[in-house]
A and B are shown apart, each in its own frame.
Chain A
Amino acid sequence: MASSAWSWLKRNALRIYAALAVLYLLVPIAVIAVFSFAETPRDRLDFSLSGGFTLEYWQHAFSNQELNDALTTSLKLALLATIASTAIGTLMALALVRYDFFGRRASNLLIILPMATPEIVMGASLLSLFIFYSAPLGFNTLLIAHIMFSISFVVVVVRSRLIGFDRSLEEAARDLGATPVQTFRYVTFPLLAPAIMAAALLAFALSIDDFVISNFNSGTTVTFPLYVYGVALRGIPVQVNVLATMLFMATTVAIVFVILQQRRGERMAGVLPAPEPLAEGSPA
């Protein structure tokens, strides 16, 4: 009996370990959600559930004006930064994968460096630039910074998709008389769309998430993370957890949508059949 239990444990050790690791990853999210229902005497998080539960903060999710303004600023900023960095980054990825040109290695380095630089150094050096030119800090400097740190991630995501791209589909389009523009419009872009969407989603998440670089270049403009940091010492309104939970649910829906699109795109392309576990051929 004991030996069979032991052998079961041995066989499933990896799975049990993985399950525990996933649990560890998700615990803080659960905590955020649970504490958005916490009844507290001062309407501030007090790190215990002794007051019981209430729906009050969900009903008055948007009653804190300062918090609303911060969230609106963050959403606006993320939207603009996402559009700009996704467009710019996709073009860069196309250049890097599709063309061999003088300066390709240098360009690669230029894209990798921001990812290998601590955020605090990026934020601080950008502040040095703005101070030198006495540029007023605010929404515009935040936008510049957010586009800057998102570009590299967009390039990486779109590039990985372009590498696995079946060029013969484009050749077929051209053989059938499509112009380069038509080929891009009707073949390349639709096949690339899921990757572009994934990149955009990542850029959006990075922007909404960013605290360090924003903290240096915001001036008096307050984003969602900056607001939370500002009130962290005085006591965090419970609404912060409510809005964080909402944000999480919204992004979850968006991701599920992108994943579904991605699978549809893969079926359309016919290049990647449903992945078999650990059974893909060796890299060519």
Chain B
Amino acid sequence: MTIRRRLIPYWLLAPGALWLLVFFVIPMGFMAEQALQSGSLFTGGFHFTWQWSNFPDSLSGNNEQIVRSFYYAGTATVLALLISYPLAYAIAQQSGRWRLLLLFAVIAPFFTTYLIRTIAWKTILYDSGPVVGVFKTLHLIPQDGRLLATSTAVIAGLTYNFLPFMILPIYASIERLDMRLIEAAKDLYASSTQAFLRVTLPMTAPGIVAGVLLTFIPAFGDYVNATILGGTHQAMIGNKIQSLFLVERDYPEAAALSFLMMAVILVMVLVYLRLAGTEAFMGEEEEARA
């Protein structure tokens, strides 16, 4: 009986764990193998030859796109944080009905499909559109200038598209915040600014960490925004991987580059979690079990 009971969680877990193992973990292994192949499609295909040089080669050929990915995704993440934190705070302050309505407004863009949202931004930023008109009037861009096919457009698209991923975790952490702590800080003569910096901000840090990761990761690997809103000089690392895999069919270089991107992101996740604690992702049920 007890052994049967002890097996229950494994039975519950088995279908999902197997699915993720076979279609997520094992494919990573295949990609690793591919990253060490050499050859070409025209000379008899690719063969596994421990071709470690694929890694430095894939880096040196794509410096420009890598730097750009860091710059675009980093800027978009910072902008998203600046937009999200006050919004999440304001939502948490509302009561029942308004709160639901605002939360709905936050996730609504999710339901218009990613690609069509991005195309909507193309419409908004179009050369003869109102936004470009305003920018020209204010002399923010030259009279013959445009927004499409510039870094600005790509960063704007990235910021917008991943915004809900930033707002929701921050909202969750603010909503869980014990307001009595802030009252206590004020009773102890903290100014509003001090109370915010020393109570609110540290206590909502896990939400910020989760939001930053959930925004930066997809933005860093994205190529849809750069394809639709950018021009030839806005290609990101995702564009390169995409074209290596699906157009040029240079699988080893594509796999090597994907692996390096994955490694960069894993390192960032680990550093961030080390700095800010693991609660952001893992801690929740420990708390509930205690």
Contacts and interface: CB of A to CB of B under 8 A. Distances in A.
Interface in B74-104: 83-84, 86-87, 89-96, 99-100, 102, 104
A32 B178 CA distance: 40
Most B CB within 10 A of own CB, among A100, A124, A279, A282? A124
B16 A89 contact: yes
B16 A32 contact: no
Contact of A277 (B95, B123, B128): B95
B120 A28 contact: yes
A225 B25 CA distance: 26
Contact of B221 (A29, A121, A240, A241): A121
Contacts of B102: 18, 22
A121 B262 contact: yes
Contacts of A132: 30
Given A124-B31, A255-B104, A205 B117 contact: no
Given A31-B123, A124-B254, A129-B26, A25 B112 contact: no
Interface string B134-151: 000000000000000000
A225 B160 contact: no
Nearest to A19: B90
A172 interface: no
B108 A125 contact: no
Given A88-B19, A248-B112, A236 B282 contact: no
Contacts of B277: none
A211 B114 contact: yes
A163 B284 contact: yes
A107 B258 contact: no
Interface of B: 6, 8-10, 12-13, 15-17, 19-21, 23-28, 30-31, 33-34, 83-84, 86-87, 89-96, 99-100, 102, 104-117, 119-124, 126, 128-129, 160, 163, 174-181, 213-214, 217-218, 220-224, 228, 238, 241-242, 245-246, 251, 254-255, 258, 261-262, 265-266, 269, 281-282, 284-285, 287-290
Given A119-B221, A147-B19, A224-B113, 13 more contacts: A22-B102, A48-B129, A87-B15, A110-B21, A112-B282, A118-B262, A120-B242, A144-B23, A147-B23, A255-B111, A274-B96, A280-B178, A283-B178
Interface of A: 14-15, 17-18, 21-22, 24-29, 31-32, 35, 45, 47-48, 87-89, 91-92, 94-101, 104, 107-108, 110-122, 124-129, 131-132, 144-145, 147-148, 151-152, 155, 159-160, 163-164, 205, 208-212, 215-216, 224-225, 228-229, 232, 236, 240-241, 244, 247-248, 251-252, 255-256, 259, 274-284
